[in-house]
Amino acid sequence: MRGIGKSFLGVRVLSGVDLDVTAGEVHAVVGENGAGKSTLMKIICGVHPPDEGTIEIDGHPVSFGHPLEAQRSGIAIIYQEFNLLPERTVAENVFLGREPVRRG
């Protein structure tokens, strides 16, 4: 991600954000409330389009109109969620709604 910028209703929430991620890495984005963490993640996974900047995968520019497009390109996000299912394992909660299946 290079030079990512985003505004909502005239309020600038991201300005000139760069992020490099290499395949196989796991990243945690941390910061104070209102720092733009969720907005940045929603941009990279196709929930919101950036107002400025570019996203590249393997040196090729991409844009996602829907989170499924980002998933097909290998981008997956695990959102902070407090409404987990306590009777399920951590792995089952991570894949909630996207459970791996066999034979369809």
How sure is the predictor about 82, in pLDDT bands with cuts at 50, 70 and 90?
A: low
How sure is the predictor about 91, in pLDDT bands with cuts at 50, 70 and 90?
A: confident
Would you state the structure tokens that stand for residue 36, as one six-digit string?
Answer: 């733009």
What are 26-79's pLDDT values in tens digits?
Answer: 888 888 988 999 999 999 999 999 999 999 999 999 999 998 899 889 887 777
Where do the domains of the chain lie?
2-76
Give residue for tokens 């309020």: 11
Question: In terms of pLDDT, which residue wins out, 26 or 16?
Answer: 16
- Cα distances from 39 to residues 49, 56, 91, 96, in angstroms, run 10, 18, 25, 22
pLDDT in the model for residue 104: 61
Architecture of domain 2-76: 3-Layer(aba) Sandwich (3.40)
Amino acid residing at 85: L
The pTM of the full predicted model, rounded to 2 decimals, is 0.75
